[in-house]
Chains A and B, each alone.
Chain A
Amino acid sequence: MRIPKLTIPLIVIASLFGGYFLRSAFTQPTTTVAYDQKSGAKATFIVDGVKCKGTAAFFTSLYDSIPGIIGIETFAGEHKAVFTYDPERISRDSIRTIMEAPIPFDDGTSEQIFKCLSVE
């Protein structure tokens, strides 16, 4: 069967859009940390600085000993961190303050590594 030339760009564009819209079918976290098994409130933070598995792991380590944090899932490709937390023990603002706090280095200096761009 003969195919018009214009078919080619159309199927290229269709496949790119198809791939883009199919992404939600494969959503998996970059890192998953569960500090507790109980359920809690959810908050999604878009965080500048969460860009790969290493930075995501460092990011979650900031909350290792913070009371009220039940679990964290990070999505590096979308610079996203989803917190499950106990709202009676910690607030969204406190979660944000922790991530945006300057990180101290061995040489005595400190630097802000993560910056919250939005909260849902």
Chain B
Amino acid sequence: MAIPRTRYYRYAIFTIILGLVTYLAFGYGSRSFEAYCPFGGAESLWGLFTAGEFTCALGPLNLSLMLALLVLVLISKKTFCGWACPIGFLSELGGRLGGLLWKKRPRVTPKANGWLKLFRYAVLIVALYFTFRTGELILRGYDPFYLIFSGFGHGSAGIISLVVLALLAIGTLVVPMMFCRYLCPMGAVFDPFSRLGVIKIMRNETTCTNCGSCSKACVQDIPVQQLRVIRHRDCTNCLECLDACPEKDTLQLRAGL
């Protein structure tokens, strides 16, 4: 099956960003790779409000990137996750690799999927609570972004970090986008804004043949063929469904409330 052209664009942007983060991780550039993590913006809020100072290794770039991405979410849902996040990219690649390895991959039922997604709110609460309370980036040792790019640097929890990363890698092979769906605290921050995103995918019900290609192509497992307007909080506007749809103009990218 041919790879859709949009995916080339997406993977090109992903690769450039992954390359930049790797470049920074090797100590090049004037800032640490951590300075580019938008979730750091959320973690820095308490310190800024209470003491006017950034927490731990965080800085203004974390905050400005988070705010810029919140604006992006209001414009175009979780587009950052599907087009630029290095962990989103690695998760997607892992999911596709898992698709090649498994003949019939076990599927998470929609009900279980809904419950499991609550974990990311728990991760968000734990991360913010302990960061605000201790002034340290307490989840570093379990954060795949930090562990991968720091090479298990300062703050990692040794064998526990290794086990966590291994479990995440294996989990991603079994459940596509497992980290993004169930554990990413940045995704939890985006959630309430994502439903409001102005640019979204709409399905023309009269021309749709209900073939299910769109739902099958969705890396976030959104039941696209059952929805008229894809307001789903997990939609990243990756456009895989548009490319998979065999009926011309049935799925369209549109701006509207």
Instruction: Give chain A's interface residues, CB within 8 Å of chain B.
Output: 1-9, 11-13, 15-16, 18-20, 22-32, 46, 51-54, 75-79
Contacts and interface: CB of A to CB of B under 8 A. Distances in A.
Max chain A CB contacts within 10 Å: which of B59, B65, B80?
B59
B9 A16 contact: no
A12 B83 CA distance: 7
Interface string B48-78: 1000111111111111111111011001100
Instruction: Across the A-B interface, give the 4 residue pairs with the lowest CB-CB distance, nearest first.
Output: A77-B59, A19-B68, A19-B65, A26-B60
Contact of A15 (B10, B32, B56, B69): B69
A94 B199 CA distance: 57
A6 to B, nearest CB: 8
A16 B59 contact: no
Max chain B CB contacts within 10 Å: which of A9, A27, A51, A77?
A77
B84 interface: yes
Contact of A76 (B54, B71, B136, B237): B54
17 contacts: A4-B253, A5-B6, A7-B253, A8-B76, A11-B75, A11-B79, A15-B80, A19-B66, A23-B60, A29-B53, A46-B30, A53-B55, A76-B58, A77-B31, A77-B62, A78-B31, A78-B35
A78 to B, nearest CB: 6
Contacts of B83: 8-9, 12
Interface in B87-143: 135-136
Contacts of A1: 254-256
B255 to A, nearest CB: 5
A2 B135 contact: no
Interface residues of B, number: 48
A116 to B, nearest CB: 14
Contacts of A54: 56, 136
B79 A8 contact: yes
B54 A12 contact: no
Contacts of B56: 52-54, 76
Contacts of B256: 1
A19 B13 contact: no
A9 B10 contact: yes
Interface in B8-47: 9-10, 13, 30-32, 34-35, 38
Given A77-B59, A78-B59, A16 B54 contact: no
B84 A28 contact: no
Contact of B54 (A9, A24, A28): A28
A30 to B, nearest CB: 5
B80 A12 contact: yes
A11 B72 contact: yes
Contact of A32 (B6, B53, B76): B53
Contact of A20 (B10, B65, B72): B65
